[in-house]
């Protein structure tokens, strides 16, 4: 036996490393189980959904376990013993995002069961694609290696293309998935070409190591700077596609309108959040090693993209007649708000960049509730009226079916970002993070966000007006119990989270603080960068806050 | 006779990239666009392998990455062709210009 163990080569991961990445392993096991179960026990939507939920619960259990390890021993990296950065990272941010995705998956599964389960015998395929894309998105947030990042983006994208075209007989679904697939593969190809240029210059794909060497290249100027800049821009195009930042957003409204509504709810939050957190992690690592002043130009680029994205998203949402398409443009606008916070990251000192990540985490959580609620109502409504998702389909809903209209009202008002809903407080955190930098650029971004909030009020209002001020002779909608419960829980949670916004803020502070940073000594042997390894300036403050809360 | 060096490989890779982008922009046929995508991916592959050979710092990261890229390209092509078939079944064409139901 001992001989056998001695035979294990040095590169083979240790058992502790496997434990660190047990959530991923459980996730993959769930995937295989859902795929193979129909062969053994027949195709049944309920059994498949049950298996998926059990797999999600097991994954969540392991995630909590790893969270314990991380809070005791600090961020973990692994599965690549000779690399300092690590292909996979288990830190607070990645674990938070795993829990976020798992919760959201449960929500979307409930919605799917109350809307589509009866008409379909494709349940195994649906869940394989959903759980698979979720795994890809969680990997996107758990890496700082460009190769792993590209694989993760593809891993998240490929199932998404298929799931958008899930209704094979529907013409718009086929069209939506074709458009999504073409935009996606073009941006993936461009991103890979950028990665090859970056690799050529730095001889590595680890972002921390690239950042250590990038400063001199970027400052020297000339052709090298141009080529490295081109490579980075190509990478940014790939991420911007996932975030659906304007002008890489053309797929977004089409794919969201053509897909089934529960799929739209999933993509509108999960894929954008994954892209944003990936962007923020890369920007964070990069400015930690390269120095923020190198990236001033990048901050301006991201700020411009954020401004254009939220403005175009809000202005295009006006003229829409389909609720799904309107909410798709609204999701573009929200991605723009969150990108504004990503611009802080590359240009400010550490405390401010952590409050930016924290604001985005809180925003993402509340945004998930708002979108799940709003798309849930649309899905429930259109499942009862023959697939009509136009805004006029909401006429009279407020008086006939308040069980749908009230949560829709909550979610829409919260999407605007006005009290008394949690969308207000998270938007306030975002503005506060922008404001406390004290830099003119970010103040300008904050003003842009406020103006955009005012613009967005009017198109959300159109639905509310239809629901409560327009008459309709349609009968009341008969809503399935589970779906009604889901959307109402979302609506109520929006109020609860406003009242208990402190725990939300504390948690997002905590999860953003313990961000992984490869030890710079291992990277370059520079003692001067050692202090950066203690990556959580807010950790002390967060702990005391939590103690207060506990006491 | 001249010696084949890094520059020659990079020129081929850049040509593939530019041709790929040109094909993506001009083709209206979905399969044509996918061929453009494959050209860009192969340009990236040539870049990766050439940089690894001439500038590799003693590791083979670039070649490993290019293997991953080949696998990704194959997976993407398989799915893409399936989606094109689905599009063809619904619209009797794979011309992307005919996908104009969703707009605005």
Cα gap B55→A458, rounded to integer Å: 57
Q: Is the predicted pLDDT of residue A5 greater than 90, yes or no?
A: no
Cα gap A85→A64, rounded to integer Å: 23
Q: Is the predicted pLDDT of residue A525 greater than 50, yes or no?
A: no
Give the pLDDT confidence score for residue A119 in this predicted structure: 66
* Lowest pLDDT segment from A52-61, A221-230, A243-252, A304-313: A221-230
**A483-505, pLDDT tens digit by residue?**
999 999 999 999 999 998 888 88
Please enumerate residues of A whose Cβ is less than 8 A from a Cβ of B.
147, 150-151, 154, 158, 161-162, 165, 168-172, 174-179, 181-182, 185-186, 188-190, 192-193, 195-197, 199-200, 203-205, 253-254, 257-258, 319-320, 325
**β pairing state of A88-90 and A76-78:** antiparallel
**A330-379, pLDDT tens digit by residue?**
999 999 999 998 888 766 556 667 888 899 999 999 999 999 999 999 99
**A284-324, pLDDT tens digit by residue?**
888 777 766 667 778 888 999 999 999 999 999 988 999 99
Q: Is the predicted pLDDT of residue A216 greater than 60, yes or no?
A: yes
Q: What's the gap in Å between the CA of A210 and the closest CA on chain B?
A: 14
Q: What is the torsional sign of CA A68, A69, A74, A78?
A: negative
What's the whole-model pTM score? 0.90
**A145-159, pLDDT tens digit by residue?**
899 999 999 999 999
Cα gap A494→A426, rounded to integer Å: 11
Contact A192, B69 (CB under 8 A): yes
**A238-295, pLDDT tens digit by residue?**
999 999 998 899 999 999 999 999 999 999 999 999 999 999 888 888 877 776 666 7
Phi, psi angles (nearest 5°) of residue A284 = -65, -50
Q: Which two tokens stand for residue A463?
A: 């639905």
* Residues paired with residue A48 on neighbouring β-strands, in sequence order: none
More confident residue, A41 or A26: A26
Contact B62, A210 (CB under 8 A): no
Tokens 């969270």 belong to which residue? Answer: A67
Contacts 24+ apart (CB under 8 A), A507-510: A508/A358, A508/A359, A508/A361, A508/A362, A508/A365, A509/A354, A509/A355, A509/A358, A509/A538, A509/A541, A509/A542, A509/A545, A510/A92, A510/A542, A510/A546
Give the pLDDT confidence score for residue A471 in this predicted structure: 81
Q: What percent of chain A has pLDDT over 90?
A: 49
Q: What percent of chain A has pLDDT over 70?
A: 87
SS3 A145: strand
Contacts of residue A241, defined as CB under 8 A and 6 or more positions apart, other chains included, come to A183, A184, A187, A248, A251, A275
CB contact under 8 A, B59 and A165: no
Cα gap A541→A118, rounded to integer Å: 51
Could you say which residues of chain B have pLDDT below 70? 1, 56-57
Give the pLDDT confidence score for residue A346 in this predicted structure: 65
pLDDT band of residue A11 (cuts 50, 70, 90) is: low
Chain centroid, CA A282 distance in Å: 14
Contact B33, A186 (CB under 8 A): yes
Q: Span A225-236, mean pLDDT?
A: 88
* Lowest pLDDT segment from A108-122, A377-391, B63-77: A108-122
Chain centroid, CA A411 distance in Å: 19
**A436-457, pLDDT tens digit by residue?**
887 888 899 999 999 999 999 9
Q: Which of B99, B100, B103 to mutate to test the interface with A (most CBs of A within 10 A)?
A: B99
Instruction: Give, to the nearest 10 degrees, the angle between helix A207-220 and helix A222-243.
Output: 130
pLDDT band of residue A518 (cuts 50, 70, 90) is: low
Contact A197, A227 (CB under 8 A): yes
Find chain B residues with C-beta within 8 A of A199's C-beta: 47-48, 51-52, 61-62, 65
Q: Is the predicted pLDDT of residue A390 greater than 70, yes or no?
A: yes
Give the pLDDT confidence score for residue A269 in this predicted structure: 94
Side-chain-side CA neighbours of residue A482 (13 Å): 12
Comparing CA positions, the residue from A122, A347, A376, A366 lying closest to residue A265 is: A376
Q: What's the gap in Å between the CA of B16 and the closest CA on chain A?
A: 11
Give the pLDDT confidence score for residue A541 in this predicted structure: 36
Q: Which two tokens stand for residue A72?
A: 């005791």
Find chain B residues with C-beta within 8 A of A158's C-beta: 75-76, 79
Sketch the domain layout of chain B as residue ranges: 6-92
Q: Span A107-117, mean pLDDT?
A: 87
Q: Which two tokens stand for residue A162?
A: 């298929």
H-helix or E-strand spanning residue A188: helix A171-202
Class of domain B6-92: mainly alpha
Give the pLDDT confidence score for residue A529 in this predicted structure: 36
Cα gap A528→A95, rounded to integer Å: 30
């Amino acid at each position: 036996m001992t001989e056998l163990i001695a035979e294990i080569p040095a590169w083979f991961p240790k058992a502790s490393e496997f434990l660190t990445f047990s959530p991923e392993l459980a996730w993959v096991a769930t995937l295989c189980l859902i795929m193979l179960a129909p062969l053994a026990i027949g195709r049944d939507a309920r059994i498949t959904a049950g298996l998926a939920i059990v797999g999600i619960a097991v994954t969540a259990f392991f995630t909590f376990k790893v969270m314990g390890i991380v809070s005791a021993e600090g961020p973990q990296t692994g599965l690549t013993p000779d690399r300092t950065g690590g292909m996979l990272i288990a830190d607070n941010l990645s674990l938070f995002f795993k829990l976020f995705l798992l919760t959201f998956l449960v929500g979307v599964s409930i919605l799917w069961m109350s809307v589509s389960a009866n008409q379909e015998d494709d349940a195994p395929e649906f869940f394989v694609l959903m759980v698979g894309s979720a795994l890809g998105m969680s990997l996107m947030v758990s890496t700082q290696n460009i190769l792993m990042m590209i694989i993760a983006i593809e891993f998240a994208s490929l199932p998404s293309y298929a799931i958008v075209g899930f209704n094979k007989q529907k013409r718009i679904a086929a069209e939506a998935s074709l458009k999504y697939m073409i935009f996606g593969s073009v941006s993936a190809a461009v991103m890979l070409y950028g990665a090859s240029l970056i690799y050529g210059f730095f001889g590595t794909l680890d972002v921390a190591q690239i950042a250590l060497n990038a400063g001199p290249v970027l400052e020297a100027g000339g052709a090298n700077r141009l080529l490295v800049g081109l490579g980075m821009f190509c990478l940014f195009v790939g991420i911007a596609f996932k975030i659906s930042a304007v002008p890489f957003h053309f797929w977004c409204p089409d794919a969201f309108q053509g897909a089934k509504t529960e799929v739209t709810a999933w993509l509108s939050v999960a894929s954008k959040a994954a892209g944003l957190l990936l962007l923020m992690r890369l920007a964070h690592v990069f400015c930690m090693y390269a120095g923020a002043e190198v990236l001033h130009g990048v901050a301006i680029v991201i700020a411009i993209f954020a401004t254009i994205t939220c403005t175009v998203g809000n202005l295009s949402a006006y003229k829409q007649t389909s609720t799904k398409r309107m909410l798709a443009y609204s999701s573009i606008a929200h991605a723009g708000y969150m990108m504004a916070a990503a611009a802080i990251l590359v240009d400010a000192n550490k405390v401010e960049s952590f409050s930016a990540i924290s604001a985005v985490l809180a925003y993402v959580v509340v945004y998930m509730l708002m979108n799940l609620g709003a798309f849930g109502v649309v899905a429930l409504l259109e499942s009862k009226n023959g697939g009509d998702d136009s805004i006029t389909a909401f006429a009279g809903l407020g008086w006939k079916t308040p069980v749908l209209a009230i949560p829709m009202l909550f979610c829409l008002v919260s999407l605007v970002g006005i009290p008394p809903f949690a969308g207000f407080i998270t938007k306030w955190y975002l503005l506060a993070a922008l404001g406390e930098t004290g830099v003119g650029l970010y103040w300008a971004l904050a003003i842009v966000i406020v103006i955009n909030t005012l613009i967005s009020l009017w198109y959300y209002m159109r639905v509310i007006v239809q629901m409560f001020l327009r008459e309709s002779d349609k009968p009341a909608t008969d809503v399935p119990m589970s779906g009604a419960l889901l959307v109402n829980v979302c609506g109520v949670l929006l109020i609860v989270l406003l009242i208990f916004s402190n725990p939300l803020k504390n948690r997002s502070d905590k999860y953003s603080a313990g961000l992984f940073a490869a030890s710079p000594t291992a990277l370059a042997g520079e003692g001067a960068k050692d202090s950066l390894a203690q990556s959580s300036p807010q950790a002390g403050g967060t702990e005391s806050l939590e103690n207060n809360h506990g006491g | 006779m001249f010696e084949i060096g890094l520059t020659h490989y990079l020129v081929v890779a850049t040509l593939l990239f530019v041709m790929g982008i040109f094909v993506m922009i001009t083709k209206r046929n979905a399969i044509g666009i996918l061929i453009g995508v494959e050209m860009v991916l192969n340009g990236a592959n040539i870049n990766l392998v050439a940089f690894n050979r001439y500038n590799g710092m003693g590791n083979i990261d670039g070649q490993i990455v290019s293997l991953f890229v080949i696998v990704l390209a194959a997976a993407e092509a398989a799915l893409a062709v399936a989606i094109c078939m689905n599009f063809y079944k619904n619209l009797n064409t794979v011309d992307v210009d005919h996908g104009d139901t969703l707009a605005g």
